Chains A and B, each alone.
Chain A
Amino acid sequence: MTETGIGAPVRRLEDQRFITGTGNYTDDVNVAGQGYAYFVRSPHAHAAIKSIDTSVLKGMSGVVGVLTGEDVAADSLGPLPAGWMIHSKNGDPMKAPGHPLLAQGKVRYVGDPIAVVVGETFAEAKDAGEALLGAITFDELPASVDPVATTAKDAPQLFDDVPNNTAFDWELGNKAETEAAFKAASHVTTLNIVNNRLVPNAMEPRAALGDYDAGTGTITIYTTSQNPHVARLVMSAFLNLAPEHKLRCIAPDVGGGFGSKIYVYSEEVVCGWAAKRFKRAVKWTAERTESFLTDAHGRDHVTKAELAMDDKGKILGLRVHTVANLGGYPSLFSTSVPTYLYATLLSGQYDIPAIYAEVDAVYTNTAPVDAYRGAGRPEATFVVERLVEVAAREMGIDPATFRKRNFIKKFPHQTPVIMAYDVGDYHASLSKAMDLVDYKGFGKRKRASAKDGKLRGIGFSAYIEACGIAPSQAVGSLGAGVGLWESAEVRVNPVGTIEVLTGSHSHGQGHETTFAQLVSDRLGQPIENVSIVHGDTDKVQFGMGTYGSRSGAVGMSAISKALDKVVAKAKKVAGFILEASDADIEFKDGNFTVAGTDKSIDWTSVALQAYVAHKFGPDDMEPGLKEGAFYDPTNFTFPAGVHICELEIDADTGVTTIENWVAIDDFGTIINPLIVSGQVHGGIAQGVGQAMLEGAAYNDNGQLVTASYMDYCMPRADDLPSFTVDHTVTPCPSNPLGIKGCGEAGAIASPAAVMNALTDALGHEDIQMPATPQVIWRAAQKTITKAAAE
C-alpha cells in the first residue's frame, strides 16, 4: 500500500475549500441580473383551488412576474413522474398520478406548490407571494392523514381514479410454503411495528438557479442534486422543459443528500422554465421550513410481522404485512422503496426457508415519501432484527446464540425473496463485535447499574443490505424505468496529469479523494496530479449519480475499467518508444519496462508521446490517451455486519445514555478507512436519531407540527457517544475492486440495535420509535410496576 493508494487514510483533497469557506454550493452561485423565486404553497392539506387573483400583484414593488398551474398547462409541462412500475397482486399496474409542477385545481399536502412569484429581490418576491396567497380562494376538503385509516371506505379520497387511496397491493415470496411453515411451528413471535416517518434534513437546503441563454436556446440549471444527469433526463423526457442537448444541469458542491436530493422536484424545474419565460436568471433557495414541508420524507411503515420457529429455535418462516405511506403523490423512486428495496431483504443474515410479504402502498395528505438513507433496507432490518431478538427472548435462548443458530453459513445463498447473497461471514462479525463490547462482562455491568437505580440493556443488530445498485437487466425486470450502470472517462493530459470524469456525484462522500486514490494506485502517479470531475452534464457524458451506496462498487468499477483501457493503450505507446511488443511491456509504479530488460520509460514521457505521435503512425494507432467505460454490475453487493448498543436508562426521568456502541461491518475492500468510518458514524447518528429523537408528526388536519429545528429533534453532539468502528473483510466477488459499499450501513443497522437494547433494559417490548425520554419514562413505569407485582 502506498501513502495515497488503496487502503490509505488519505486526508481529503476537497477539504481545503470547505474549511476555508471557498466551497461552491448552489446558493453561492450568482448570475448578473438574477431574480428571486418565492413559491406560494398550499396552507391546507387537502383543498380545491377555486380561484387565483394575480391582479393583487399589480403595483407591488419589484415583481418580475408570476406563473401558476394555468401557465404550466399552457406550456405543456408534464407532471413529476414515478419511475418504478409496481404491479398489484392481481396484475394491475400501480395507480400513480403525476405531481403537477404547480397545482392543477387541487392541492394534496401542506406545502404543495401553487404558484411562483419572481421578484427583483427575495424580500420583494416573498412580500408579493404572501399577498398572492391571500388572493387564492380555497374550498377546503377533509384530509386523510393516517396511512392505515386512509384505505377505509369513508376516508377522504385524494384522487378521483385511485380507489381507497391505494397505489398498489403487492406481494413477494411464497404464500403457501410460508403458511405451511407457520402451521408446523412450535413457536411464533408476533410484533406490531411502526417505522416512524423521518425528514432527511441535509444541512444544505434545496436550491436552484435557472439561467437561459437566448443565443443558443439553452437552459442551465444549477441544482442541489445527487444525480444531475437523471434530473436532466426527467426534465427532458417527462417534463418537456427542453430537449437534453439544450438543457444543462450542474450540481456543484452539494451539502448532503441522504436520498432527498435524488428526486426531481417542482422548484428546480420551475426556476429553469421561469428563466426562459422571463428572460433572466431565477434563483430559489428553500427556507428550512420549506425543506420540512416539501423534501421527500422517509420510512413511514406500519407493519405486522411474524416469525415461526421449531422447538430448537430454528427459523421456519417469516411473514409480514406492511402499509407504506407514499404521501400525497408518488415521488420518483418512492414505489421501489417499500417493495424491491424492502421485502427482498427480509431474509436478513438468516437461512429462512419460507418468506411471504404483502405491502399496501397508500396515499395520504402528507408530503411525498421516498428513499432516505437506507431506503427500505432499514425498515427490513428493523423488522427482522426486532423479530429475532424478541423470538430469542421468548424462547429463553441467548440472542447471540439464536442468531448463530440461524445464520447463513454457505455461499452463494439464494433467499426466498429474489436476492442471491454472494459472500459473507456473519459469525466473524458477530464474534468480533461481542468481544469488543465485552458481552461476557455485561451481566456485571447491568448489576452495577441496578445498584445505582438504573436500567441497563444491550441490543444487537445483525444487518444485511443490497447495495451497488444495480444490475440494469435485473432492475428492469422488476419495473425500474432506468438502467443503473455507471460511466467513467479517464483523460490523460500530454503532461501526464489525469482528469477522471465520473457519473457519480459527491455530496459529502469524498469522491475527489477516494477516486483519486484508485487512480494514483493504478497509475503510480502522485495523487495531486489527479482531478475528479463530476456534477455537470456538459462535462460528463452521462451518469446515474450517487445513492444506494453505489459509487464505490459501481462508479469506481467504471473508473477501474477505463483505467484498464488507458494502461493497455499506454503500453502500446511505450512499445513503440522502446521498440518492443506491447505484450512484453510491464507497467509498475508509473514505469513501463520491457520484460527481462532494463529498458524503461516513465509515465509522463509515454503521455507526451501519445499526444505528439512521433513514434507511431496513423496505421499503427490513434493518437491521444483517453478512454471511457460503462460498468453495469452483475449482481447487487451485500454489505453486512453487527452493531451492538449498550445503554443505561434513568427510570426516574427517562433520560437514556448510550454507554457503548460497537460496529463491525464487512464492506469488502476499503479504499480509505478514514472516510469509511466517517460514513458509519454518520449513519449510526441518523439511526439513533430515528430510534430516540426524530419523528415527523402531522396533526389530524394534515398540518406538519414538526417543521423546524425547534420542533423536530435532530441529533446533537451530546445525544451521542463516540463509536467503536471496526471491520471484517470478505471481498465482493462481483466487481473488479471487491467493494461492497458503506454509505447506508450505519442507518440500516442502528435503529434495531437501540430498540433491542432499550427493550432489554426495560424487560418488555411495549415501546415504539422514537423512544424519546417521555416515551421511555412511560415504558419504564410499566417495568417498575411489573417488578413490584413480581
Chain B
Amino acid sequence: MPTVSMTVNGKPVSAEAEPRTLLVQFLRETLRLTGTHVGCDTSQCGACVVHVDGRAVKACTALAMQFEGAEVTTIEGLADGAELHPMQAAFREHHGLQCGFCTPGMIMAAVEMVERLGGPLDEATIRHELEGNICRCTGYHNIVKAIAAGSAEMSSGVREAAE
C-alpha cells in the first residue's frame, strides 16, 4: 500500500493508504480527526470543508494522494490553544449552530471566505458565498450573523496587526 505524507494542523503525518482513500477518510479514520464530517458524499453540503494550503477544499471528493506534502488545517487546528478563532467564537456568540454537524465545515468555509475576500463581509455576500454549505437546522439566519461578526473581528485583527 502506498504511503501518503502531509502536514495536518501543523504536525507532519505519514501513513499507508489505499489509493482510493478519500482525504476525509484519511483525516477521520486514519488520523481519527473526527471533527471533519461527511454529509453528502457529493461535494454539495460542505460539512467536510478543510483548508489545504490555505484554500477551502471539500475533503469528501478529493483523494488523500492528491495532497502529498500539503499543509492541511481541520476544525481541530483552528483555535490557538485554548483561545478560539474569532469565527468559532462568533458562531457561539450568535447561536450560529444547533445540531453542530454542519458547523465545522461552515466555520472553515467562513474563515476562508474572509481570508479570500477580506472583511467585514455584508449579508448579501455571505449568503452568496455560502452556496456550497448546507445547514438544515438554523435557516442560516444566525450563521449569516455569526459570519458577519466573525469577519468584522478577523479584519479588525488584521488592521491591528498592520498598525
Chain A residues packing against B (C-beta within 8 Å): 11-12, 14-23, 25, 27-28, 30, 123, 201-205, 253-256, 258, 285, 287-289, 507-510, 674-675, 677-678, 681-686, 708-710, 714-718, 720, 722-723, 746
Contacts and interface: CB of A to CB of B under 8 A. Distances in A.
Contacts of A686: 136, 139
B44 to A, nearest CB: 4
Contacts of B99: 202-204, 253-256, 507-508
Interface stretch (B31-39, B114-122, B154-162): B31-39
A197 B133 CA distance: 23
B95 interface: yes
Interface in B80-135: 84, 88, 91-93, 95, 97-104, 107, 123, 126-128, 130-131, 133-135
B3 interface: no
Q: Counting chain A CB atoms within 10 Å of each CB, which of B79, B142, B143 scores highest?
A: B142
B142 A123 contact: no
A718 B128 contact: yes
Name the prevailing secondary structure of the A interface residues: loop
Given A203-B47, A686-B136, A681 B142 contact: yes
Given A19-B107, A258-B136, A288 B98 contact: no
A203 B35 contact: no
A20 B39 contact: no
Contact of B103 (A19, A123, A675): A19
B34 A21 contact: yes
Interface residues of B, number: 56
B130 A508 contact: no
B45 to A, nearest CB: 6
A19 B98 contact: no
B42 A709 contact: yes
Contacts of A685: 138-140
Contacts of B16: none
A285 B44 CA distance: 18
A710 B43 CA distance: 9
25 contacts: A19-B88, A20-B76, A21-B33, A21-B36, A21-B75, A22-B76, A23-B35, A28-B28, A202-B99, A202-B136, A203-B101, A204-B37, A204-B99, A253-B100, A255-B100, A256-B137, A289-B41, A507-B99, A683-B139, A709-B40, A717-B133, A717-B143, A718-B131, A720-B141, A722-B145
Given A203-B135, A682-B139, A716-B131, A722 B95 contact: no
Nearest to B142: A678
B97 A21 contact: no
B149 interface: no
Contacts of A21: 33-36, 74-76, 78, 104
B8 interface: no
A684 B137 CA distance: 10
Contacts of A716: 130-131, 133-134, 140
Contacts of A285: 38
Contacts of B53: none
Given A23-B35, A717-B144, A722-B141, A15 B91 contact: yes
Nearest to A722: B141
User: Which 6 interchain pairs have the tightest Cβ spacing?
Assistant: A21-B35, A255-B101, A18-B100, A508-B99, A685-B139, A21-B75
B68 interface: no
B130 A203 contact: no
A508 B98 contact: yes
B101 A709 contact: no
B131 A19 contact: no
Given A256-B99, A718-B127, 7 more contacts: A19-B97, A507-B99, A714-B45, A717-B126, A718-B131, A720-B139, A722-B145
A569 B125 CA distance: 57
B51 to A, nearest CB: 13
Contacts of A723: 139, 141
B100 to A, nearest CB: 3
A615 to B, nearest CB: 42
Interface in B40-62: 40-42, 44-45, 47
Contact of B98 (A201, A682, A715): A682
B65 to A, nearest CB: 15
A680 to B, nearest CB: 8
A76 B35 CA distance: 39
Given A123-B20, A716-B130, A710 B42 contact: yes
A720 B140 contact: yes
Q: Counting chain B CB atoms within 10 Å of each CB, which of A18, A23, A202 scores highest?
A: A18
Contacts of A717: 126-128, 130-131, 133, 140, 143-144
B103 to A, nearest CB: 5
A15 B92 contact: yes
A675 B95 contact: yes
Contacts of B40: 288, 708-709
Contacts of B123: 722
A717 B128 CA distance: 7
Nearest to A509: B98
Nearest to A285: B38
B98 A678 contact: yes
A380 B28 CA distance: 44
A678 B95 contact: yes
B116 to A, nearest CB: 17
Q: Counting chain A CB atoms within 10 Å of each CB, which of B45, B103, B135, B136 scores highest?
A: B136
A204 B45 CA distance: 11
Contacts of B102: 203, 255
A708 B92 contact: no
B127 A508 contact: no
A288 B91 CA distance: 26
Contact of B138 (A12, A681, A710): A681
Nearest to A19: B88
Nearest to A714: B134
Contacts of B44: 708-710
Nearest to A723: B141
Contacts of B135: 203
Nearest to B126: A717
A708 B44 CA distance: 9
A19 B84 contact: yes
Nearest to B100: A18
Nearest to B84: A19
A256 B101 contact: yes
A29 to B, nearest CB: 9
A16 B20 CA distance: 34
A18 B97 contact: yes
Given A255-B101, A718-B130, A718-B131, A203 B140 contact: no
Contacts of A708: 40, 42, 44
Given A287-B41, A714-B134, A681 B100 contact: no
Contacts of A11: 92-93, 95
A717 B121 CA distance: 15
Given A288-B41, A510-B98, A12 B92 contact: yes
Contacts of A678: 95, 98, 137-138, 141-142
Q: Counting chain A CB atoms within 10 Å of each CB, which of B32, B75, B93 scores highest?
A: B75
A22 B35 CA distance: 6
A643 to B, nearest CB: 13
Contacts of B47: 203
A676 B139 CA distance: 13
Given A25-B101, A709-B134, A717-B130, A12 B95 contact: yes
A155 B95 CA distance: 50
A282 to B, nearest CB: 16
A507 B137 CA distance: 10
Nearest to B107: A19
Contact of B39 (A15, A22, A288, A715): A288
A103 B135 CA distance: 34
A718 B133 CA distance: 11
Contacts of B130: 716-718
Contacts of B41: 287-289
Contacts of A14: 100
Contacts of B139: 681-686, 715, 720, 723, 746
Contacts of B20: 123
